[in-house]
Amino acid sequence: MKTATARAHPNIAFIKYWGNQDDVLRLPANSSLSMNLDGLYTQTTVIPDETLFSDVLVLNGEIASGKSLERVVTHLNMLRQRCEIVTHVRVESANNFPTGTGIASSASAFAALTVATAAVFEISMTERELTTLARRGSGSASRSVPTGFVEWHAADTHADSFAESIAAPEYWNLVDVVAIVSDQHKATGSQEGHTTAATSDLQIARVNGAADRLMRCKQAFLARDFATFAEVVELDSNLMHAVMMTSRPPLFYWLPTTLDIMQRVRAWRSQGLNVCYTLDAGPNVHCLCTADAAPEIQRQLQQVAGVMDIKIATPGGAAVVIV
């Protein structure tokens, strides 16, 4: 058998995914909306090997074991079942960005793994089906399969909870200026976090309003109406973190610098810059802005104490097989 290498970008959600209606199938509690991040990627090579008794995972150059391996093997088993293939594989995967710090590495990782595995097994699938399979590995991975700006639909069945592009990367020249405030691996991964969402008294209210927020966000996005877009994106991020902070036990992903930057972003916007913040399950602040505002945002962030690094990403394309 041949080998296959795929690349997928992480994505940043404008409307967040937090909590499942089905944890095994990873059917999300609400639909979400995101942008792929160009320049950042996971590159994954899948090498079938008839001589292997079990799968081997090499993560960023090191042989993986424990939970990381287990999660990948579970995903490979699901893919093998779909493809009706039994061969074990060696998976070599690497990110060009730090993992576990609020840039969703599991999204790009499971998108790349799914696309590479389908390619190496030579099974023809629609993009829609690929997004549902990627979803099984990590919910937000479904959003890293299609190109540009992507909507992932909540649904009651595996086949209906798919993701699709709502616009190409060129549609709106948004930039994600990511203020890295920690490169420590976070104490609670987002996978565990999703299962705690239901312990917050606020989760149901967040979920009940999500479809309306997604509609408002999508309309503002399609109209390139930054002011409306900014308001709903920040609200949705605040709602997710409100649920996190009121879960039992509570999850606090914010660091003092995180809060500092959030407040500065609001001040910059009130001074006329097209910028808003959003945070995933981590302390880094994604400052979403229009391209014309990006240099000034970067310059300002460089002056904030506690900002260790700044990553800049424009809208990224689909997950693709490169070899």
CB of 217 to its own copies, least distance (A): 15
3-state secondary structure of 179: strand
CB of 199 to its own copies, least distance (A): 11
3-state secondary structure of 272: coil
Nearer to its own copies, 29 or 262 (CB): 262
CB of 147 to its own copies, least distance (A): 32
Angle made by CA atoms 318, 319, 323, in degrees to the nearest 5 = 125
Nearer to its own copies, 171 or 252 (CB): 252
Bridge partner residues of 276 (DSSP): 288
CB of 177 to its own copies, least distance (A): 20
CB of 67 to its own copies, least distance (A): 23
What does the alpha-carbon distance between residue 73 and residue 303 come to, in Å, rounded to a whole number?
44
Q: Which two tokens stand for residue 45?
A: 């090579």
Nearer to its own copies, 3 or 188 (CB): 188
Nearer to its own copies, 5 or 257 (CB): 257
Nearer to its own copies, 249 or 272 (CB): 249
Cβ pair 283, 182 in contact under 8 A: yes
Nearer to its own copies, 235 or 312 (CB): 235
Amino acid at 310: I
What does the alpha-carbon distance between residue 105 and residue 113 come to, in Å, rounded to a whole number?
12
Cβ pair 64, 57 in contact under 8 A: yes
Q: Between the CA of residue 38 and those of 88, 92, 108, 165, 323, what are the distances in Å?
A: 31, 21, 11, 15, 19
Angle made by CA atoms 276, 282, 288, in degrees to the nearest 5 = 20
Judged by the rule CB under 8 A, the positions of this chain that interact with its own copies are 201-202, 204-206, 208-209, 234-235, 238-239, 241-243, 245-246, 248, 250, 252, 254-260, 262-263
Nearer to its own copies, 94 or 242 (CB): 242
CB of 232 to its own copies, least distance (A): 10
Cβ pair 292, 177 in contact under 8 A: no
What does the alpha-carbon distance between residue 266 and residue 274 come to, in Å, rounded to a whole number?
10
CB of 249 to its own copies, least distance (A): 9
